[in-house]
Amino acid sequence: MTQTDSAAHFAAAREVLPAGISGAARENAALGQAMLAASGDGPYIIAPDGRRYLDYFSGFGSVILGYDHAGVRAAIEQALDMGIIHGPETVYQERLARRLVGLVPSAEMVRFANSGSEATMAAIRLARAHTGRTKILKFEGHFHGIHEHVLYNTHPEPRSVTPGEMVATSADSAGIPPAFADAVLVAPWNDLAALSRAFERHGSDIAAVIMEPINYNAGALLADSDYLRAVREITRDHGSVLIFDEVLSGFRTGTDCAQGFYGVTPDVTLLGKAVANGVPLAVIAGRREVMSGLAPLGQSAHSGTYSGHIFGVLAALATLDALESPGVYDGETGLMSMSERFYSGLREIFEHRDIRCRVQGVGPRFALYFGLDPDVEPRAYQDIAGHDSDTLKRFARACYARGVYFHVYDVVVGHHGFGAAHDAEVIDETLDRVDAACVDLAAD
Ligand SMILES: Cc1ncc(COP(=O)(O)O)c(C=O)c1O
């Protein structure tokens, strides 16, 4: 199938799938449609016409080991051999829970879910049940899934910022009853004065503070360590549940996740994506006292036909086996040094080709903030809200023509990334192609 055939495919698909796709975020705003793929292989996505694209999307950040990973394939085969059983419990859920308890600092008990959205929904209900309170506090530019309790201020327009002030809560979807917004406070990230004021006014009503400890959904924004420690103290002092949504940051910087990276331990952690290398699985993990609130031990409802499905559970065990192997994160060929190799290469290219772009990465996920000062680290969503998304689209299109895939979201800032299948040779090949794409861009 050729590229023209891909256009023909989407034309036909639009008749039976809204917008021709299976989820809004599949659309690549740089291409004006989704990418049509046939298969994946290590660091490559392969199109139906056989073209191989070096992949910097990694399945929304879920494929940390690369496509068609042998261990994950064997796990799926084992699940098939077991008859895809998922009503009764098997021994593997306990085995995986124990592994996670050993790796993730905040995990004393674990419950499995199927998606990040389901995990954030269940965790918020659990926090409300635990505290007997209603309000949750989230941060501008942080994304926690696609439901009524969290879908606010994930990608607002640029606004003028007054330090110390909270942000007006604004829903990101039509169809959300306004009453839900009454339960949501929105704070600017890394602004301790704003958070302290919110707790002064609403502290006794705040059931949970939920955050992306590394705000990858706005690219790759780090928390100040002092700020994060202060958030930990304030939530503890006020009896609010601190939830780290590590659906995207989990296993990115190490097997102890972002909480290990910062040395700050939340009450509840949510994992998804990379935990099972692209096989649907999410995790709610946390302090025993809080987790004991989950039914049937406690009163907070959570269950599902596919909860703890063995596809995800076995795939996660295989993924953790791989991630725990020596040298995956550290050492000369580990993810952290590959990240540095890639980002410094990109910086050199942009400087040499006179393209203004801030390259900001934490571990193997990163942002390309075109139009922003390359030497200034943005700290909060409003620092990057005015980035030049048109140039990002043109850049991604030029890279696509050179066989490098960057996914560009329509309205959200988005994020890029790679995984352990991208070795030095792959990274260097990518840099060559990106450089050629930048030349094309200038001639465009
Ligand atoms: C931080 C974070 N939380 C929650 C979600 C929702 O996860 P899912 O898409 O699996 O529902 C995402 C998805 O991108 C995410 O990045």
Q: Can you read off the two tokens belonging to residue 110?
A: 């674990």
Are residues 88 and 124 both part of a single domain? yes
Question: Do 247 and 353 lie in a common domain?
Answer: no
Q: Are residues 224 and 354 in the same domain?
A: no
Residues 63, 11 share a domain: yes
Largest CA distance in the chain: 64
If asked whether residues 293 and 381 sit together in one domain, one would say: no
Ligand 1, atom 8: nearest CA belongs to which residue?
116
Is there a single domain that holds both residue 334 and residue 368? yes
- pLDDT for position 369: 97
Whether residues 51 and 85 share a domain: the answer is no
Same domain, yes or no: 292 and 333 = no
Our CA dihedral for 284, 286, 290, 293, rounded to 10 degrees, sits at 30
Tell me the one-letter amino acid at 6: S
Last residue of a domain, one of 306, 323, 340: 323
Please work out, in degrees rounded to the nearest 5, the angle formed at the alpha carbon of residue 213 by the alpha carbons of 211 and 217: 75
Q: What is the Cα–Cα distance from 215 to 202, expressed in whole angstroms?
A: 24
Distance CA 356, CA 322 (A): 37
Cβ of residue 281 lying under 6 Å from some atom of ligand 1: no
Structural domain boundaries, residue 358: 3-68+328-443
Structure tokens at 247: 């659906």
Give the domain CATH number at 25.
Answer: 3.90.1150.10
Domain end, chosen from 255, 288, 323, is at 323
In the prediction, which pLDDT does 410 show?
77
Atom of ligand 1 nearest to the CA of 280: 10
26 and 133 assigned to the same domain: no
pLDDT score recorded for residue 4: 61
74/68 Cα distance (integer angstroms): 10
Please report the pLDDT score of residue 121 as a whole number. 98
- Ligand 1 neighbourhood includes 213 CB (under 6 angstroms): no
Centre of ligand 1 from the C-alpha of residue 143, in Å: 7
> What's the pLDDT at 413?
83
pLDDT tens digit at each of 444 positions of the chain: 455 688 899 999 999 999 999 999 999 999 999 999 999 999 999 999 999 999 999 999 999 999 999 999 999 999 999 999 989 999 999 999 999 999 999 999 999 999 999 999 999 999 999 999 999 999 999 999 999 999 999 999 999 999 999 999 999 999 999 999 999 999 999 999 999 999 999 999 999 999 999 999 999 999 999 999 999 999 999 999 999 999 999 999 999 999 999 999 999 999 999 999 999 999 999 999 999 999 999 999 999 999 999 999 999 999 999 999 999 999 999 999 999 999 999 999 999 999 999 999 999 999 999 999 999 999 999 999 999 999 999 999 999 999 999 999 977 788 899 999 999 999 999 999 999 999 999 898
DSSP one-letter string for 12-76: HHTTTSGGGSSSGGGEETTTTEEPP--EEEBTEEE-TTS-EEEESSHHHHT-SS-BT-HHHHHHH
Ligand 1 within 6 A of 55 CB?
Answer: no
Interval between CA 118 and ligand 1 midpoint (Å): 9
Q: Of the candidates 323, 357, 375, which is a domain's last residue?
A: 323
Indicate whether 43 and 76 sit together in one domain.
no
Instruction: Please check whether residue 138 is in contact with residue 152, taking contact to mean a CB–CB distance below 8 angstroms.
Output: yes
Residue 142 Cα to ligand 1 midpoint, Å, equals 10
Domain match, 354 and 332 both:
yes
CATH number assigned to the domain comprising residue 130: 3.40.640.10
Q: On the CB side of 236, how many CA atoms lie within 13 Å of its CA?
A: 11
Whether residue 334 is found in the same domain as residue 298 = no
The one-letter amino acid code at 324 reads: E
How many domains does one find in the chain? 2
For the whole model, what pTM was predicted? 0.98
pLDDT given for residue 1 in this prediction = 47
Please give the Cα distance from 257 to 151 (Å, whole number).
24
Provide the pairing of β-strand 241-245 with 206-211.
parallel
